[in-house]
């Protein structure tokens, strides 16, 4: 498994030991690109060397990508991600519902299962977030890193999986990580600093093993991953509670904004889907419409 990239080389986990590896032979000639989370085939003839060779990259079951800064096209960020855990706070700071929805759309656009972790329930009520997401049926895990409430369920959710934890500043991601495994938040901070995140140019992700089994994915700019590439015409499919109505509108190309006979708006007006989720849809749709297409 690829843990991350260091310059032109990769850090791989092989038989429980971290090794340095590089693409060689056919893999290099074919232009294979390996990122954090990839499973790679090692050249057995190089296993006794300081730097092992990579023969090829295995097929991925999921891939997070982001736009190449200042240009068109995509760049792989992390592979084989099992779930996205969107972290928010019940209070201090108040939850930003549209940011939560944006991150959930990222997960939907990349077909990665998602859950929402509500931290600081010792300071606020998570019910607002539960009500916001009830129709979408995302798992909502209410926890307190300070008191330990709900942490066992979070451990069970992360165990044995490759998980991206993402959310706004101040929601307590580092506190959660340290409550899950003391020192993990510090370790991720050190890895991020070594990768030069302060330059805003590094887009490589890093996998951090966790003691309960599995990995936490440290990836910069996750909110910029996925959404930009999503066709606004398919944004409605990234809202699970809208899917029963999609295709039932009067017009086949309905954008669910002002068109008559819109089944999605009717769903919202009936109370079957929260208006707060619909407002997030409108905001993200407007953003996507402003993005240039690859041929522009």
Residue 146 near residue 125 (C-beta atoms within 8 A)? no
Least confident segment among 7-11, 125-129, 184-188, 209-213: 184-188
Helix, strand, coil percentages (3-state) for the chain, rounded to 5, are 35, 25, 45
Q: What is the pLDDT of residue 195?
A: 59
* Phi/psi of residue 166, nearest 5 degrees: -140, 160
Q: What is the pLDDT of residue 223?
A: 63
**List of E strands, the chain:** 2-6, 9-14, 17-23, 40-42, 51-57, 63-67, 74-79, 83-89, 114-119, 140-142, 161-167, 206-209, 214-218
Mean pLDDT of the chain: 87
Q: What is the pLDDT of residue 203?
A: 53
Q: What is the pLDDT of residue 202?
A: 45
Q: What is the pLDDT of residue 76?
A: 81
Which band of pLDDT confidence, cut at 50, 70 and 90, is reported for residue 292? Answer: low
Greater model confidence, 200 or 158: 158
- Percent of the chain clearing pLDDT 90 (strictly above): 63
The position carrying tokens 């966790």 is: 210
**CA atoms of 93 and 102, how far apart (whole Å):** 18
pLDDT tens track for 194-247: 655 444 344 568 898 898 999 998 876 666 665 655 678 889 999 999 999 999
Q: Is the pLDDT of residue 97 over 80?
A: yes
Q: What is the pLDDT of residue 197?
A: 44
Greater model confidence, 65 or 45: 45
Residue 188 near residue 197 (C-beta atoms within 8 A)? no
Q: Is the pLDDT of residue 75 over 80?
A: no
Token pair of 172, please?
């307590």
Q: Is the pLDDT of residue 151 over 70?
A: yes
Least confident segment among 26-30, 37-41, 115-119: 26-30
Token pair of 19, please?
């090794």
Q: What is the pLDDT of residue 69?
A: 57
Q: Is the pLDDT of residue 185 over 90?
A: no
Q: What is the pLDDT of residue 229?
A: 56
Residue 141 near residue 155 (C-beta atoms within 8 A)? no
Is 14 in a helix, a strand, or coil? strand
Over residues 117-121, the mean pLDDT reads 97
pLDDT tens track for 130-149: 999 999 999 999 999 999 99
Least confident segment among 2-11, 52-61, 221-230: 221-230
**CA atoms of 213 and 6, how far apart (whole Å):** 24
Which band of pLDDT confidence, cut at 50, 70 and 90, is reported for residue 65? Answer: confident
Going by the DSSP 8-state scheme, the letter that residue 258 receives in this structure is S
Which of 115, 239, 116, 210 minimizes the C-alpha distance to 171? 116
pLDDT tens track for 266-291: 999 999 999 999 999 999 999 888 87
Q: Is the pLDDT of residue 295 over 80?
A: no
């Amino acid at each position: 498994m690829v843990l991350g990239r260091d310059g032109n080389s990769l850090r791989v986990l092989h038989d429980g030991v971290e090794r340095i590896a590089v693409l060689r032979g056919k893999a290099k000639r074919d232009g294979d690109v390996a990122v954090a989370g990839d499973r790679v085939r090692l050249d057995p003839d190089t296993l006794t060397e300081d730097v092992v060779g990579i023969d090829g990259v295995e097929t991925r079951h999921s891939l997070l990508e982001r736009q190449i800064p200042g240009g068109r096209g995509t760049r792989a960020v992390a592979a084989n991600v099992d779930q996205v855990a969107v972290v928010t706070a019940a209070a201090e700071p108040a939850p930003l519902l549209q940011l939560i929805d944006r991150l959930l759309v990222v997960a939907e656009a990349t077909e990665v299962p998602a859950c929402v972790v509500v931290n600081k329930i010792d300071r606020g009520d998570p019910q607002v977030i539960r009500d916001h997401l009830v129709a979408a049926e995302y798992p909502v895990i209410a926890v307190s890193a300070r008191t330990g409430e709900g942490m066992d369920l979070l451990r069970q959710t992360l165990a044995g999986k490759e998980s991206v934890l993402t959310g706004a500043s101040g929601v307590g991601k580092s506190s959660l990580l340290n409550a899950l495994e003391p020192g993990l938040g510090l370790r991720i901070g050190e890895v991020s600093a070594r990768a030069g995140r302060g330059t805003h140019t590094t887009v490589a992700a890093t996998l951090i093993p966790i003691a309960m089994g599995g990995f936490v994915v440290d990836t910069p700019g996750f909110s910029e991953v996925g959404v930009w590439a999503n066709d606004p015409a398919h944004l409605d499919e990234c809202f699970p509670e809208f899917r029963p109505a999609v295709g039932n509108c009067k017009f086949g190309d309905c954008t669910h904004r002002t068109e008559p006979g819109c089944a999605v708006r009717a769903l919202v007006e009936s109370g079957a889907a929260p208006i707060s989720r619909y407002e997030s849809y409108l905001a993200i749709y407007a953003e996507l419409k402003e993005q240039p297409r690859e041929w522009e």
